[in-house]
Amino acid sequence: MLTNLLFLIAFGVAAAPPKPLVVVTTTTDLASIAQSVGGDHVTASSLIVGTRDPHRIEAKPSYMGRVSRADLFIAVGLDLEVGYENPILQGSHNSRVVVGAPGHLYAADGVAVLEKPEGGVSRAQGDIHPFGNPHYWEDPYNGRVIAQHIADKLADLQPANAHDFHVNANAFVHQIDEHMFGAAAVQKYGADKLWAWQSQGVLSQKATVSGWAGRMEPLRGKPVLAYHRSWVYFANRFGLRIVGELEPKPGLDPTPGHIQDVVNIGRQQGVKAIMQEPFYSDKAARFVAGRIGGQVVIMPASVGQDPGARDYISLIDTNVAKVAAAMGG
C-alpha cells in the first residue's frame, strides 16, 4: 500500500504541467504578441499602458516589483528604452531577466532595421537612435518576425510546451497574412510570394488581393506628413512617401519657422494626411492641415491607444483604416 502511494505521489509530481511563464514587456504591442504566442502557458503584461510616449518612461519601483517576478522580460530594443530599461532590471534584483540572461529578449533581433545612422551621432541631431529607428512593430511583416522570435525564446525557457508555442506563432503569422492580403489570395498564391511582390511594389500586377494591402495599394507613392518618426516602417511597408515631419529634429517641439516650411512642402506635394501620435499635441498638425487642405490622422502608436486597437492585429487594422479613409483608399 505504501509503495503504491509513493508511486502515485511520484507520478503526480512528474505529470504536473509546468506553471505558466510570467512575461513582462515594455510595450503593449509586445505583450499582445507574447500572449498570442504563449497562449495558456504564459501570462503576459506590459509596463507601459495607456497613451504614453515609450521614449519617456520613468523607472518606477512598481515596475521593478513586477519585473522581479518575471520569467521573461521583452523589450523593443534599439535603445528605445535606454533611459529606463537597465534601472528597472537592476532594481528588480531578478538575475533571470537581466540583459544577456536566458530570460531577456530584445524583440528587434531578426528585424530589418531602417534608418541606421551613418557616421557619428550627437545630441545636436535631436533624439537620434544610434542603432536605427525602433518603431519597427508598425510594419505587420515585423509582427510575424517578432512572433517567431518570441516562440523560440519561450520554447527555450519551457521545452515541455515548445510545440504549442510554435503552433501558436504559426497561427498568428497566418492571421497576419490573411489580414494583409485576404484569405483567398494567401490560399491561391502563398504568403511568401505575396509579401515579396508587395515589398517589390509589383503586387497589383501579380495578384488580386483584399485586406490591408488591398486598401493601401492604390495609395502607393502618395505623399504624407508625420509628426515624429514613428511611422517610417508603416510608410515603408505600404509605399507611402513621408515628405516632411512637424518636429524640426526628432524629439524637438515644432517651431514657427519649421512649420511654415512644412506648410510649403505640404502644398507643393499635395499632401492629404498628417500622421500624428496621440501622445503629442496636435496643435501644430491641425494648423498645417488647415493651410494645406489635409487631415490630421490620430493614429495609435501602440495597442490600447485607441478603442479599436485592442490587440496587435486590430492596431494595424485601425491605422490602415484611418490612413486609407483620410487619403481616399
CA dist., res. 183 & res. 198, Å (int): 16
DSSP secondary structure letters along 249-288: STTSPP-HHHHHHHHHHHHHHT--EEEE-TTS--HHHHHH
- CA 17/CA 112 separation, integer angstroms: 37
For every one of its 329 residues, what pLDDT tens digit does the chain have, with 9 covering 90 and above?
445 544 444 444 455 778 999 999 999 999 999 999 999 999 999 999 989 989 889 999 999 999 999 999 999 999 999 999 999 999 999 999 999 999 999 999 989 999 988 766 555 455 666 889 999 999 999 999 999 999 999 999 999 999 999 999 999 999 999 999 999 999 999 999 999 999 999 999 999 999 999 999 999 999 999 999 999 999 999 999 999 999 998 889 999 999 999 999 999 999 999 999 999 999 999 999 999 999 999 999 999 999 999 999 999 999 999 999 999 86
Q: At CA 299, angle to CA 173 and CA 35, rounded to 5?
A: 35
Residue 123, by phi and psi: left (phi above 0), alpha (psi -120 to 50) or beta? alpha
Which 3 state secondary structure label does DSSP give 224?
Answer: strand
List of domains in the chain:
20-173 (3.40.50.1980), 221-327 (3.40.50.1980)
Is residue 310 packed enough to be buried (19+ CB in 10 Å), middle (13-18) or exposed (0-12)? middle
d(CA 47, CA 43): 13
pLDDT digits (tens, 9 = 90+) for 295-325: 999 999 999 999 999 999 999 999 999 999 9
HEC assignment per residue over 78-141: CCCCCCCHHHHHHHHCCCCCCCCCCCEEECCCCCCCCCCCCCCCCHHHCCCCCCCCCCHHHCHH
